[in-house]
Amino acid sequence: MSAMARVLVTEKIAERGLQKLRDAGHDVDVQLQLSPEQLVDVVSDVEAIVIRSATKVTKEVIDAAPDLVVIGRAGIGLDNVDTAAATARGVMVVNAPQSNTLSAAEHTIALLLAQARNIPQAHTALKAGRWERSKWNGVELSDKTLGIVGLGRIGKLVAQRAMAFGMNIVAYDPFVSEDRARQINVELVDIDELITLADFVTVHVAKTPETEGLLDAGLLAKAKPGQRIINVARGGIIVEDDLVDAIRNGPIGGAALDVFNEEPCTGSPLFELDEVVVTPHLGASTVEAQDKAGDTIAEMVVLALSGEFVPYAVNVSAAEASESIRPYLPLAERLGQLYAGLCERAPETLEVEYHGQLADYDTRILTLSVLKGFFGVVSDEPVSYVNAPALAEEHGMEVRPSTSSTARDYVNLITVRGAGHSIAGTLVGLRGVPKVMMVDEHAVDMPPAQNMVVIRNEDVPGVIGRVGTALGEAGININDMVVGQSPEGQSAMMVLATATPIEEAVIRQLESLEGIVSAHVISRE
């Protein structure tokens, strides 16, 4: 790493951030609107790349930059960075996770008020020469109930601000303890109760396989009549066609949306409804948020280039994990993700066990990987190796790692336990193929897949056939299936990997079959 590094900036960031890079002695090369091909051509001698949301840093780009040390995303989301490829190369990926939280919370309140008082509709009518005072009659926020879906950092800021209007707050977040919610005067309820109680609902969860399509026709049909919905989180959490139908035919009274399933979105049936207020993904579009993002990412890049501790690193550099531990990092993170799929809420105690040769090494980074995987599924904010322990503490979770050199059945085994659930995995063979070896104390042997379902069943003949028939009739192909053996030898569990995600309607159908106790999706692409 040289004292003066070439830093390629491919998108506009705050001038203060650029100056911070220059003041650190680095050569800042600003080249905007590069094509993917041009980007590959210009990175051969760069040590840092700074981007926003438009530039895609693919494996091809990373491979074309042999001197690359750090990729900086001036913002939160990392969908446009191949973090896995960066990690494999020992390239640090950093972001600015707290840069827009306040702006997003304030935009939520702005949309809440705009929806309650029909401000955009009245504005448009008056500028068109129509004085429609009686048409756009609104409602007060005081004494109304606000339902917050996701009580993370932004959800809490929204709750605090809504209380200033005299609103009652209920929230759905299975990974927040009741004590934590009570401390901020929020009542925790399940999602079905929230939708029936709330006059307004605001969404603040990350878009994950578990939350995609969360607010669908089935849930919206249970809504309190006249309910209004706000989404400043991510598109796709609300099924847009179902929302249109629920506004046209009831019970939903209106919506205010900043995000959409496909972006940019310039045409939608939602735009045809007078009850809908829309903005073009402006949640982070404030001068302050943009300045914070540019300033923060410049600071992180300077730290990375100087070899110092980087608070907002979202992956781990090659130097932070030994050669023996590094291959297990993706496995540990995947086990954390799958464990989150098994659980319905955060456990009070999370045990992470390391058996075999792993016990001879420092496994702390593996424990961080498990937490990163777990909270990456359940949290509404980006999760890094650095903030994962803080999230565990915030959720009231005690993490207990342990090691044992006893190899048992495998050379190495990582086991995650808590709240009545468990999952274990290892790497198999010379190529280090990841395998899930145990789910809820049932022995299995299966590679982790994009789409995985755990089915608990009675140990009786015919159950496997009924499951296969039901999935076949639903047009779902089974790529892999294992029958889990309990310690007592009972075949009372099936773990399936499917070619496509299994929708909730099919899960409910599986649970209705004779001999099936439960069916639960633990991973969905």
CA atoms within 13 A on the CB side of 513: 24
SS3 492: coil
Degrees (nearest 5) of the Cα angle 311, 313, 319?
A: 105
- Mean per-residue pLDDT of the chain: 90
Q: Tell me, what's the pLDDT at 84?
A: 82
pLDDT of 3 reads 66
pLDDT of amino acid 520:
87
430: amino acid identity, one letter: L
pLDDT band (50, 70, 90) for residue 525: low
Q: What are the DSSP calls for 47-105, one per residue?
A: SEEEE-SS--B-HHHHHT-TT--EEEESSS--TTB-HHHHHHHT-EEEE-TTSSHHHHH
Please pick, among 153, 204, 281, 421, the residue that the annotation labels catalytic: 281
**Token digits for 304?**
């990375």
Least confident of 65-69, 133-137, 455-459, 485-489: 485-489
Indicate which residue of 6, 107, 153, 234 is catalytic. Answer: 234
Tens of pLDDT, residues 17-34: 999 999 999 999 999 999
DSSP 8-state class, residue 320: G
pLDDT at 254: 97
In the predicted model, is pLDDT for residue 319 greater than 50?
no
- pLDDT given for residue 364 in this prediction: 86
- 417 is annotated as an active-site residue: no
Residue indicated by tokens 């005081």: 142
- In this prediction, residues 324-347 reach a mean pLDDT of 88
Burial class (CB in 10 A: 0-12, 13-18, 19+), 166: exposed
pTM listed for this prediction? 0.73
Band of pLDDT at residue 1, cut at 50, 70 and 90:
very low
The confidence score (pLDDT) of residue 316 equals 61
Q: Which domains does the chain have, with CATH numbers?
A: 1-96+285-320 (3.40.50.720), 101-278 (3.40.50.720), 321-440 (3.30.1330.90), 449-525 (3.30.70.260)
Give, in degrees to the nearest 5, the angle at Cα 139 between 134 and 140: 135
* pLDDT tens sequence across 270-297: 999 999 999 999 998 899 998 999 999 9
Q: Mean pLDDT throughout 336-353? A: 90
Distance CA 367, CA 380 (A): 21
For the segment 204-223, what is each residue's pLDDT rounded down to a tens digit?
Answer: 998 877 788 999 999 999 99
User: Starting from the edge strand earliest in sequence, which strands make up the sheet with 145-149, in order?
Assistant: 187-188, 168-172, 145-149, 200-203, 227-231, 252-257, 276-278
pLDDT above 50: residue 479: yes
Is 107 one of the catalytic residues?
no
Determine the Cα angle at 262 with ends 256 and 266, to 5°.
Answer: 65
Q: Do the beta carbons of residue 204 and residue 237 sit within 8 Å?
A: no
263 in catalytic set: yes
pLDDT at residue number 218: 95
Which residue in the list 263, 344, 393, 398 is annotated as catalytic? 263
